[in-house]
Amino acid sequence: MQMANDYDANRDAKADANPMQTGMQNALNPECKTPKTAHPNSKGKSKGITLSRSFIQKGTKPNLNQPDRYTSLEAGTPSDTSPSVDSLDFLKEERRRQDVAARLRASGIPKVFADCEIVHPEVAAWTRCYGPDAVSGLILVGGCGLHKSADAAAALRRCAQFHSVRFAGQQDILADIRSTFDTYETEDDAMARYCSVGVLVLDDIGKGKLKEWAVEMLYRIINARYERHLPTIVTSNYSGAQLRRKFAAAGDETAADAIVSRLAAMCFPITYKGRDGRLDLLKAGA
């Protein structure tokens, strides 16, 4: 037994003295692998124990019983830098917040309504129930200054959690489509902004004196959204019967009937009553 021990010691001494020979032995015999241990003065290039920067500080001794985090990575064990479930959830939530912020920046919500809160309880109830699979919208009807547009904008901010959104007044939509006559865009390009968006606020429908072309454009937008089950929030100073008369006065009674009929099918009606809040503020400041 003593001779065997002496022989092993001599073999190890020779291997240390001649690393080229050890490497050739390992190549010839894959089962023979000499353990590699990093020297304390090495630069950490060994695949064995690697000393972290804290171990090299003056007066600090390495604790070899506790593996360094770099060694843990080499050994295939989790380290303190592995992404946790909480960190992945945080990144996912942060990405979602960024998506919502981008949708709101592109929504066209007027600054005056950017921070408004919902005042009508039925709009608030609809907003609380709104989810990614919602298909029905709202039609908010009442006089001027009753917070209809502000409620619509506040509801739209909630919808942005799930879908792309856009806020546009009737006159702005018609002007946008009309502007394509003098640009490289086509009429269909402009229409797509209102026909395809996830949720549309169509503000002040029926406002002003409408021509037959305008009624046709409104019909195309409303019909496209009706067929695609895309929620639409409409505000108006006119009831259904009054809207029909406004559209029919443009010369196309069939289109007038079709618009009102589709709005009735796709939107839940909510009526606003009361005094014009803006006029009250004006009187209070007088």
Closest by Cα among 216, 217, 231, 215 to 263? 231
- Alpha-carbon distances, residue 277 vs 117, 274, 284 (angstroms): 15, 8, 11
The pLDDT-based confidence of 255 (bands split at 50, 70, 90) is very high
Burial tier of 136 (Cβ tally within 10 Å: 0-12, 13-18, 19+): middle
pLDDT digits (tens, 9 = 90+) for 30-88: 444 444 444 444 444 444 434 344 333 444 444 545 544 433 333 444 445 555 678 88
**pTM over 0.75, yes/no:** no
Strands 199-203 and 232-236: parallel
Report d(CA 48, CA 30) in Å as an integer: 19
Burial tier of 74 (Cβ tally within 10 Å: 0-12, 13-18, 19+): middle
pLDDT digits (tens, 9 = 90+) for 220-236: 999 999 999 999 999 99
Two structure tokens written together for 78: 């989790």
Contact between 213 and 249 under an 8 Å Cβ cutoff? The reply is: no
User: Which has more confidence, 269 or 10?
Assistant: 269
User: Which has more confidence, 82 or 107?
Assistant: 107
Closest by Cα among 203, 135, 216, 125 to 167? 203
pLDDT of residue 157: 95
